Structure 1
Amino acid sequence: MFAQEAAAPHNHAGHDHAGHSHATEATGPHGGTVQSVGDRRIETVIADKGIMFMILGKNDQPIAPPDATGTLKLQVGDSEKEYTYQLKTLKNPAIGVGVDLSKVVDQPLHMNVEITNIGSQPLVFHAMGKLASGKLSDELLVSLQATCPVSGQPLGSMGKPPKVTIGDKSLFVCCAGCTDKLEANADAYIKKYYTAEGEKVRDGVYKSTLADTASIAAQKTCPVMDEPLGGMGVPGKVNVNGKAVYICCPGCAKKLVAEPDKYLADLKAKGITPPAF
């Protein structure tokens, strides 16, 4: 899966980060995680074909000297096996390496990084992240569905709802006894729940439903609070200049509507195109 395996395992607990701040700040302008390293801000971007580190300059534009190089030491999950990669300047500009991460989707990645030839001192820091699958958690899907298609009972009222997968979609039932009835009329139930419109919460704000799953997975975070969608219950859905934008809670709607162009521009900068409302 990986190349250039290092000879010795890495001990996270013993790594010395003295003199280097590495507090996570927020989702970065390119969809990665931003942290402070000394007086610099670094965005770590993990994709299925590689890992990039962007030194953010004015207006969060990435900067990288053409001769910048470095080393990445990578561990996956709880494994002690360590992989070492040589970093180089990319066209973005960024500093990174091409590596196939498709087999470690949703597994935590521990990265010890040293970037050199960018000033008098190298940048040394630890970063964490993962290549997300883009799928919503079962907990969020249950919240979006809310009720059992067969009995109409609230999901969770009879224990953990059993999951039934039909093609590339899933539905949940209140109990195992409803599974056969769901499967016998699967197409009708899928159509009903995956085209349902959410109820109105307040003016301009609606509850999301299973019909919004792909859009929620694509947007990932609330543009106002930068919180993961679903982390505070069912995401709200807001009409912003004719586009459907999702928020972590109804309280974010006021700021979103007050500055629609700002938040739409923020989403665009992250490569997110909201669907039509």
Structure 2
Amino acid sequence: MSYHFPKLLALTGMLAVVFPVFANAQTAHEAHGHQHAMPGQTATATKQGPHGGTLQQSGSLQFETVVSQGGIQMFVFDHNGQPLSVERGRGAASLRIEGNAKRYRYDLLPDGKGALTAPVNLSQIAGRQIEIDLQLVGLPGIGSQPLNLQEVTTVPASQQQLASAAIARQKICPVSGKPLGSMGDPVAVDVNGQTVYACCAGCVSAIQSNPAKYASGRPEITVTAATDADAPLIAKQGKCPVMDESLGSMGQPIKVMIGDKPIFLCCKGCIKKIQAEPAKYLAMVYGSQATPEITVSAATQADAALIAQQKVCPVMDEPLGGMGTPIKAMIGDKPIFLCCKGCIKKVEAEPAKYLAMVYGQGAWNGGVGSVPAGAEQVREGIFKVSAADAPFIAAQKRCPVMDEPLDAMGGPYKVDANGKAIYICCPGCAKKIAAEPQKYLTVLAQQGVDAPSLR
């Protein structure tokens, strides 16, 4: 079996880009089937260690393994539970993610704080079960003969990741029916000990005034027959999103209100589909319009990386921040930062023009643009991604070499394929891209993905 040796698993930079794997994430470690390979000795899991990890007993020694988003730590204790020095110890951790055959090897070295540590960023596999094979040497009572242990645990998810997963599951605001994130950062509302997310501060009071109505986190759905007053909206929508039939072809259209957004259906038989998947049909009716929704807010500290990347206002060509806190204009799912409120009308009048200026030609309607070549290498020719890569990572989704999600192996990383950026799940895939760049560009093209140019 081949091994890859990445020193750090890279962050993707968005969270917006958030994964359902966190839905069942556990913040406590679970250990199963610990083993010690030395003849005549057995390693067994006993209890939680003093550092919050799991303890294994082997002979007269106890070993505590702590797995966090910041890496792997190993503490050693005598039979009385007193800590032992690990300064002369060394080790290796071979990590395998649940559902994946690949293993990743990391060195365990003394950290000067009483532990053998492998500092590796595991945040992108939070909530995933991992299996770790540990090999230790040079510890008190062990000497030069290797000691082998095994740990099965779950990488804990952060509160931010758990919140992102909850937002991804809820999808839409229960008051307005708008997608969460379309009006800026969703707002958490406590409803009898349960968190419900609203699209904006304006919807919070509605949830608080009627908690029983909104406790499910789903928008209220009401059904009526359309009236003459709805004629302009029916004409604009044109077809039923469920049956793709012309509205009116099967009698008077049915009007379904999802929060404050109406959807018109060809017949009563389509109502159950809308009730089962309101977010899907809202996106079909409102997400397919030629002009995306434009929302405006003040930039926050969370936008600092994107502001640094964009640098100047596309309207005035002035440095962002030179006229106060930048203005954040969301054109669909793409942010553009402006130097002042006076530039908002320009962007609203010609959104395609300013999207192209910030993201490159073709950014309109989600098309291809360009990204920086990359400044921080993890290996030769393999670069960490930046905030500018986030829209293209979201579009590509999977590694063309391994057909794995881009974050499955600690990625995504970025490589140059004939002047185009291809995102990969782990550094081990870079050689395949380098050997046959056009092959993998073609693979992406067949999936409807047009890789961005490198600049």
Q: Considering the TM-score relative to the shorter chain, is it more than 0.5?
A: no
Give the TM-score category using the shorter length.
0.3 to 0.5
Q: TM-score, normalized by length of structure 1?
A: 0.45
Larger % of helix: which?
2
